[in-house]
Chain A
Amino acid sequence: MRAKIAAIEAGGRAQAGVLPFGDAAIDGCLPGGGLPLGRWHEIGGTGLEVETAAAPAAFTALMAAPLARRGEVVWVLRRDDLWAPGLAGLGFPPERLLQVCARDEAEALSVMEDALATVGVAAVVGEVEACDLTAGRRLQLACEKRGAAGFLIRRRPYGGQARREAGGSAAATRWRIASAPSEPPAGEFGLGAPRFLAELERCRGGRTGAWLLEAAQAYEPAAGSYNPSGEMTDVAHPLRLVADLGDRQLAPAQPAHRTAA
């Protein structure tokens, strides 16, 4: 039945497929059993991260890493502070990354649209403050052209005023990402693998949820080496489920002052 509804919604267009997380708990919430490609996804941060957007960027890079093995990834920035060595450490191939610095919001959105409709581009990440319904719809049409996935990181300029959140959106999913304390293996010093608290706030044709995810392969020598010829090789998704936090509000896991800002 879900497939039928999806087919009606797609209006006869070919489905671009999905990118499964490889864990039934997450994939079960997403329509089609994975992150839908040929759609765009909205990713936001919490607290100060609304301005710095470090955790959302890291999380997006991890989500887009499997896609980067299929084609180019275009990252549209407003502020040039994305650092490629950090992405390499997360297992994202930096040689597949094309960075574009746009001058303003409208330009960033139009560059995203242009890149999404290009052959050979597997994913487009854009850092913009907000995306209204018209722009969202345009992005959606661009995504459908080639089946590329769009990731829209919502990021407010430094010192900017909070805008009212747009009510509706054409995004397939909306995520809110926060860093979570890492757990190094017992008896080891230092930091463990990076962990993220990922909250799926909205999901078209699916259910919402919240999970604690870990990038288990990050900063390991094997993670950065990838095989350029091995497209579509079946690599495990870089994010591993640590705990299912259910569909409840994240009040206990999230101290009040982080959400207050």
Chain B
Amino acid sequence: MRAVRRLAAVSLEAARLGLHPGQKATDAFALVPELKTAEAEPQADAAALAALADWCVRFSPAVAIDAPDGLFLDVTGVDHLWGGEAPMLADFRGRLAANGLTFRCAVADTPGAAWALAHFGADGAIAPPGGQAELLAPLPPAALRLETEAWAQIERLGLRQLGQLAAIPRAPFGRRFGRGALTRLDQALGREAEALTFRRPATPWFARLAFAEPISALEDMARVTADVTARLCERLETQGQGARRFELAFHRLDGKALPLSVGLSLPGRDAARIAKLFAPKLETVDPGFGIEVVTLSAEAVEPISGRQARLDKAREATVEEGLGPLVDRLTNRLGEDRVWRAAPVESHVPELAVGRARPLAKPSPARAWDPAAPRPTRLFRRPEPLEAVVALVPDDPPTAFRWRGRLHRVRRAEGPERIGEEWWKGQIEDVAVGHLRDYYRVEDAEGARFWLFRAGLYGDPAAPPKWWLHGLFG
């Protein structure tokens, strides 16, 4: 079967000429010979939609993408910031139009009703609470978000309005048109709840500041950061909560949102401290032509008990006042992977025996390292090859070796400590005797102590054993 090129989308002008999406491209050219077409780019469209969803966070933190071309905003509890749904929708429309987008939007109690009104109703319709049924009644069955076959079937039976559908008793309706159609109808009318997948989970811990004039100076940005942090932290404090992560977004005039985030090692709500953690990152924000809105959201919110500041200073400092802030300062400045505590991992392969734990995490349940087994203070990430190794007898420690161009004569040695590979983790055919390591602790004539190993065994001419230096004891 040959692939047929079809129109994926048409402009308003093309639609006026009678073209429609899904039409064969050859038919369209026959109708309108001067038609200009461009390849559809679904991925770019999806990326643009995602960017638009991020932009919409300025209106509501709960934005869900309705692929391929829709967005749901949950405006419950945020419309009062604009003084009602109508002014909010007007602001929304104005800003979208200013960005040169073509769109249709509607406000309703349920996502289903809003979708139906936006696609088939009057543009910019606002359904009063509980009043979506009347507005939906004249709409065609296609407004139910059904498969094309399903709504075409409904229309073939002469049901051309949702009002007629709603009048049919539920049981025959379900039998005739299937469970899916019934669900969609219930969702539109608010008889059944619908879960939306929000682009980021809606957090009730959200604060927003809008400015009369766009700001761009660094000092202003620092000040609004402090203000918005104080606002959110006050709410956290009254509810006895603390958060581990704060995400700040500067919304620029050109519609871009610049995110910054800080993490805390322990949940906190000290506004001054959090604002201070943001301060060095503000320099990376490019304000462009100005910033008009700043939003802050708190994530990983959990209850923390309000602790009284200590009265007796003589006692030992708690983690909250000493180490916690230090770890936060360091992780936010250097990056999370640069501050860690070594945690034991149960593995006998030396380079796998140490994991990195978060600095203030609970100690891991793994068994601690055996202090009786001598281990070097410095371990090379990759072992360094040794040259001119003289070992008198197989399985004996070397008597001399050359490392970094210098000859070391071994005075004392201990070993071998045989460490095999973790054959149970990989493929059985990858296991080879060459991966076997015999570790020796040796001391040269001057007292320097080395941890070296021989990989492989003697006696295999194809793979002669090699000597490596893995660590230094000092």
What is the interface of chain A, defined by CB distance below 8 A to chain B? Answer: 48-49, 52-59, 61, 72, 74, 80-91, 94-95, 97-103, 107, 111, 114-115, 118-121, 178-182, 184, 189-192, 194-197, 218-221, 223-225, 231, 255, 258
Contact = CB atoms under 8 A, between A and B. Distances in A.
Interface string B365-395: 0001111111111111100000000000000
Interface stretch (B181-189, B231-239, B334-342): B334-342
B403 to A, nearest CB: 9
A88 B373 CA distance: 10
B429 interface: no
B319 interface: yes
B109 interface: no
Contacts of A81: 378-381
B340 A99 contact: yes
Contacts of A179: 443, 446-449, 473-474
A120 to B, nearest CB: 3
A86 B326 contact: no
Contacts of B404: 48
A63 to B, nearest CB: 13
Would you list the 9 A-B pairs with minimal beta carbon distance, nearest first?
A224-B371, A54-B474, A84-B342, A120-B322, A119-B322, A54-B472, A55-B474, A58-B474, A119-B317
A121 B322 contact: yes
B463 interface: no
Contacts of B474: 49, 53-59, 179, 194, 196
Given A178-B447, A194-B474, A89 B373 contact: yes
A83 B447 contact: no
Contacts of B312: none
Given A84-B369, A181-B447, A97 B473 contact: no
Contacts of B374: 89, 191, 218-219
Given A48-B404, A89-B372, A94-B341, 7 more contacts: A81-B378, A82-B377, A85-B373, A95-B341, A102-B338, A107-B334, A219-B374
Contact of B412 (A49, A182, A225, A231): A182
Given A86-B378, A86-B473, A120-B316, A221 B413 contact: no
A219 B318 CA distance: 32
- A56, A100, A103: which has the most chain B beta carbons within 10 Å? A100
Contact of A95 (B354, B363, B445, B446): B363
Given A54-B378, A118-B322, A194-B473, A88 B368 contact: yes
B414 interface: yes
Contact of A52 (B334, B344, B378, B443): B378
A100 B339 contact: yes
B328 to A, nearest CB: 11
Given A94-B342, A179-B474, A220 B377 contact: no
- A86, A90, A99, A221: which has the most chain B beta carbons within 10 Å? A86
A89 B318 CA distance: 28
B413 A182 contact: no
Q: Looking at chain A's contact residues, is the secondary structure mostly helix, strand, loop, or mixed?
A: mixed
A134 to B, nearest CB: 21
B398 interface: no
A87 B344 CA distance: 13
A88 B375 CA distance: 9
B335 to A, nearest CB: 9
Interface string B73-115: 0000000000000000000000000000000000000000000
A99 B327 CA distance: 10
Contacts of B473: 54, 58, 86, 179, 194
Contacts of B373: 85, 89, 219
5 contacts: A54-B377, A57-B474, A82-B378, A191-B414, A224-B368
A76 to B, nearest CB: 9
Contact of A190 (B330, B339, B340, B413): B413
Contact of B376 (A56, A83, A224): A83
A163 to B, nearest CB: 20
Interface in B313-364: 316-319, 321-323, 325-327, 329-330, 334, 338-342, 344, 350, 353-354, 359, 363
